[in-house]
Amino acid sequence: MSPESGRRRFYLSFCAPVALALVAGCASLRPWGPSSSTAANDPAIRQAAHEEPANEGLSWKDFNPDNIGKTAKKLTGNGPNREQARQLFREADDLFKQAQAAEPNQRATIFSMAAPKYAAAAEKWPDSALAMDGLFSAAECYFFADQYPNANLYYEKLVKAFPNNRYLDTVDQRRFLIAKYWLSLNQESPEGWYYYNFFNRSRPWRDARGHGLRIFDKIRIDDPTGRLADDATLAAANEQFQAGKFWKADEYYSDLRTAYPTSEHQFLAHFVGLKAKLNCYQGPEYGGTCLDEAEKLIKQIRRQFPQEAEREREYLERAAAEVRYLKAQRVMFLADYYDQRRQYRSAQHYYDQVVHEFNDTPLAQRAQDRIGQIAGLPPEPAQVAPWVVGLFPESDKVKPLLAATEKIRQQEQREQVQQCL
């Protein structure tokens, strides 16, 4: 196992306890912050990055309908201003350093004061390295202040404005923790339909579970090749499975198997995905695609994961027998349907299928017994009141054509016979 894989296993094994510990204050869980990262902590690097040229005059793109608001601010003197951006950023950095040196019970307050300044600095110099650092730092400050909805908001703004920014790995880690924390809150105390949050800044105003699942999806979409993309997919799948939403869980497990073939979660994606497939099956009255896919998963598990399959041998054997029985039950359902309609030819066809293809199930003997009982019975039921049927017009447009063709063929045969005589 590679060091990277070991680190990820360690991270995931402690993800839930870390998320729960956020309730007591997350500052103690975060040894690093925006000012301690390489790019953010080195003044020379940050200063050089923030000295890139920018054109503060009007351009054609300023008259784009999407930029009218920004253009109005620029014309009224509230638009981009590099000097103000640098000043706000320096003030925010000073507050951030004060928060790091402050007492634990005072850090959240100072972080929450620094965050708006970082955000304002980013707005004063958009599309710049300073804006990227400002959005990330604002999100970090809100994260350290335990204001997770605001932190997630600025993480998303950062990814939207700078899709390939240098903080992507950290952003994914932060959002993953936030999502796990919100899901754990809902597991401990599920929200009712009437619930609204007005005072707790660490959780959304409503539907913490839905917001957590949305973050998992955003991690997968924003950084599909990132280190936590497969982890987010598995976490979302497990959450849907535990909630009993097996169709949605099956989609996530299938996505994990297909999109992340080298993921360390492949066995879980197959094994728990098999359980999701079986739970998706709704009965013989519905389609059997889930059963076909479940049978395929059993074969793949035994072939690709022999050691894990041996540990779960009892369950896999039971699942394989269940799939076989359910598939036989679907065919038996069709046989019984035609049997009840006294269409014994069609019924015998499906009874024969049960006997020959599913002879390892208990339904095979019942099908064999029924074949003997209907032997010799008319293949189709007798037509009741055929004169009533003749009163109705023919709905099949092909039958009259076939009848005319048959009439012509018979006429030709009679002419040939007369010529021979």
Give the whole-angstrom CA distance, residue 238 versus residue 25.
26
Position 333 scores a pLDDT of 96
Whole-model pTM over 0.95: no
Residue 130 is predicted with a pLDDT of 96
Q: What is the pLDDT of residue 97?
A: 95
pLDDT of residue 365: 95
Task: State whether residue 249 is helix, strand or coil.
Answer: helix
Q: Give pLDDT, residue 159.
A: 96
Tokens coding 271: 């094994």
Q: Identify the pLDDT of residue 342.
A: 92
* Residue 278 CA from chain centroid, whole number: 19
H or E segment to which residue 241 belongs? helix 229-242
Q: How far apart are CA 280 and CA 141, in angstroms?
A: 43
Which pLDDT score is estimated for 271?
Answer: 98
DSSP letters for 106-155: HHHHHHHHHHHHHHHHHHHS-SSHHHHHHHHHHHHHHHHTT-HHHHHHHH
CA distance 334 to 357: 15
Signed CA dihedral, 101, 103, 108, 110: sign only: negative
User: What span, in angstroms and rounded, lies between the C-alpha atoms of 282 and 14?
Assistant: 37
pLDDT of residue 92: 97
pLDDT computed for residue 410 by the predictor: 83
Contact (CB, 8 A) for 352 and 358: no
Domain ranges in the chain? 25-41+79-227
Query: What is the phi/psi pair of residue 366, to 5°?
Result: -65, -40
CA-closest candidate to residue 159, choices 116, 115, 218: 218
What does the DSSP assignment read for 242-301? HTT-HHHHHHHHHHHHHH-TT-TTHHHHHHHHHHHHHHH---TTS--HHHHHHHHHHHHH
Q: CA 206 to CA 203: how far, in whole Å? A: 8
| pLDDT tens for the 421 residues of the chain, in order | 444 444 444 344 434 333 333 333 343 334 333 333 433 444 333 443 555 444 456 677 666 776 676 677 666 666 788 999 999 999 999 999 999 999 999 999 999 999 999 999 999 999 999 999 999 999 999 999 999 999 999 999 999 999 999 999 999 999 999 999 999 998 888 888 888 989 889 999 999 999 999 999 999 999 999 999 999 999 999 999 999 999 999 999 999 999 999 999 999 999 999 999 999 999 999 999 999 999 999 999 999 999 999 999 999 999 999 999 999 999 999 999 999 999 999 999 999 999 999 999 999 999 999 999 999 889 888 777 666 666 666 666 666 666 777 788 888 888 887 777 6
In angstroms, the CA 378 to CA 334 distance is 18
- In angstroms, the CA 194 to CA 24 distance is 26
Number of neighbours of residue 113 by Cβ within 10 angstroms: 17
State both tokens at 249: 């869980």
Distance between CA 172 and CA 182 in Å, rounded? 15
Number of C-alpha atoms within 13 angstroms, CB side, residue 86?
A: 10
